[in-house]
Amino acid sequence: MSVPSGPRIITSRFDVADGHTYAGYVRTGGYVSLRKAVSSMTPQQVHDEVKAAEIQGRGGAGFPAGTKWGFLPAGVHPRYLVINGDESEPGTYKDRLLMERDPHQLIEGIVIACYALNASQAFLYVRGEMAHAQERLAQALNEAYANNMVGRNICGSDFSVDITLTWGAGAYIVGEETALIESLEGERGMPRLKPPFFPAVKGLYMQPTIVNNVETLANVPYIVGKGGGDFKSIGAPTSTGMRMFAVSGHVNKPGVFEVPNGVTTFRMLFEAPEYCGGIRNGGSIKAFIPGGASAMWFFPEHLDMALDKPTVDKAGSMLGSGAIVAMDQTTDMVAACWRIVRFFARESCGKCTPCREGTTWLERVLKRMLDGHGRPEDIDLLFEVSESISPGIAWPPRQTTICPLGPSAVSPIASAVRRFRHEFEHYIEHRRPIDGVESPFATHLASHA
């Protein structure tokens, strides 16, 4: 199987032993784009390159970064850049690598973005549990300040910017941009209602704020160095550049890969020797998650689809945060569905009733099926509760809630119950999974979960 190739952009230093240090970064071409931007480009020109690149945000929603940057109201200062390093969507593993292995690349991207946005302070918010990433970023930031890449009069120009490194303390919902802003203000991480609290207009401290994902900003030095047109020529016109995907689950060689966006297919990632090298034990795909726990599941008929945003959106799911989870023919779909729902039930911030109550009920109903106490009416009940969180159980989801977390809990139900209804019925009737699938709790069903 031949796979499309492209340049390694953001993972280019992953094999460089000292790529995370200032010396290693500069030796491998680092901070050239920043120097170029502040010495020979206007903020508007930098913004124009990012627009021309048509880079879609890598945090989940895939909104074009250049367009988002244009939403800042003119003449309102101070304005802020907030970097979302909270990576916690189940299956997602790429921002942590970017922060640990190439922290200067992210810092360079942040400073260039601040230049384009006319912002003078950025807040880099890292997930609390990522001690090593925090360490590497602190080290890199201290070096970058010492070398005049951050701080006053960067590279001898009249541009000045500060980066404040900070981290959370364990809460998935803080990855949602308005909850992250609340957390940065020292509050409980509960989302704000949009409208009116669109960050670009009323964000951090009610000032204009751009929130971008780590991977999005890590691409900025390349875009400014080579030009937006170069970036756009990689991948597909509808999904530009290179993109990182973490492929986990039942594959022979799980891994994180930077691949040409929009043209690589799911099958290539699962089967090509350069990537995962096939399904474990020579098995086959029963279902897979294309973009994180919040996404609708895909099935074997979707394998040849390209990882292209509009294509995947149209097929009824999303590429989300680049988290692909493969499930082979032995997977217990009731248990898989339950585990994802339990995640959302645990992580609901509790602000809206349909989400707080609904996710908890969904989890309990699925749990009792697994425990052998399922009732015949339970499948209908799952759909009924799902309806109250996300009317119509459609894609893209409609929501009765403040943020999309609640409706996300409906995705695994809509996916698994619709496709594998017989497995749920079998659990209810026979108190065990169908033949040929393995319960993940084989040794201790009663004591746990």
Partner 1 sequence: MSRLSEERVATAKEIIGRFPRKKSALIPLLHLAQEQDGYVAQDAMVHIAELLDLAPAEVYGTASFYEMFKFHPVGKYCINICTNISCQLVGAWNLLHHAEERLGIKSGGTTQDGLFTIEDVECIAACTEAPALQVNYRYRYKVTPESFDALINDLESGKLTGEVPPHGTLASVRQTTTAAWSNRGVEEQAQVDAR
Which amino acid type is present at position 382?
L
Does 360 help bind ligand FMN (rule: CB under 6 A)?
A: no
Q: Decide which of ligand SF4, ligand FMN, partner 1, none touches 406; Cβ closer than 5 to 8 Å per partner kind.
A: ligand SF4
What would you report as the CA-atom Rg of the chain, rounded to the nearest whole angstrom? 22
Minimum distance from residue 344 beta carbon to partner 1 (Å): 10
What angle (nearest 5°) sits at the alpha carbon of residue 139, between those of residues 133 and 142?
A: 135
Choose among 237, 297, 256: nearest CA to 87: 256
Number of residues in the chain: 449
Does 399 help bind ligand FMN (rule: CB under 6 A)?
A: no
Q: Is the dihedral of CA 312, 316, 321, 325 positive or negative?
A: negative
Count of positions on this chain that bind ligand FMN (CB under 6 A): 23
Does 97 help bind ligand FMN (rule: CB under 6 A)?
A: no
Asked whether the beta carbons of 31 and 149 are under 8 A apart, the reply is yes
Which amino acid type is present at position 369?
M
Minimum distance from residue 433 beta carbon to partner 1 (Å): 14
Does 347 help bind partner 1 (rule: CB under 8 A)?
A: yes
Tokens of 140: 């890199």
What part of residues 48-87 is at the interface with ligand FMN (CB under 6 A)? 57-61, 63, 65, 84, 86-87
Minimum distance from residue 407 beta carbon to ligand SF4 (Å): 8
Local structure of 179: helix, strand or coil: helix
Does 304 help bind partner 1 (rule: CB under 8 A)?
A: no
Does 145 help bind partner 1 (rule: CB under 8 A)?
A: yes
Asked whether the beta carbons of 249 and 79 are under 8 A apart, the reply is no
Q: Decide which of ligand SF4, ligand FMN, partner 1, none touches 150; Cβ closer than 5 to 8 Å per partner kind.
A: partner 1
Q: Pick the piece of the chain touching partner 1 (CB under 8 A) from 21-29, 233-241, 373-381, 441-449.
A: 441-449
Helices (H), 193-303: 214-218, 220-226, 228-232, 266-271
Asked whether the beta carbons of 146 and 23 are under 8 A apart, the reply is no
Binding interface with ligand SF4 (CB under 6 A): 173, 191, 348-352, 355-356, 401-403, 405-406
Q: Is the peptide bond before 260 cis (omega within 30 degrees of 0)?
A: no
Minimum distance from residue 96 beta carbon to ligand FMN (Å): 11
Host H or E run for residue 243: strand 242-249
Local structure of residue 155 (DSSP, 8 states): G
What part of residues 151-190 is at the interface with ligand FMN (CB under 6 A)? 173, 175-177
Residues in contact with ligand FMN, shown as a per-residue x/- string from 186 to 225 under the rule CB under 6 A: -------------------------xxx--x---------
Residues in contact with partner 1, shown as a per-residue x/- string from 49 to 88 under the rule CB under 8 A: --------------------------x-xxx-------xx
Residues in contact with partner 1, shown as a per-residue x/- string from 400 to 439 under the rule CB under 8 A: ----------------------------------------
Asked whether the beta carbons of 216 and 65 are under 8 A apart, the reply is yes
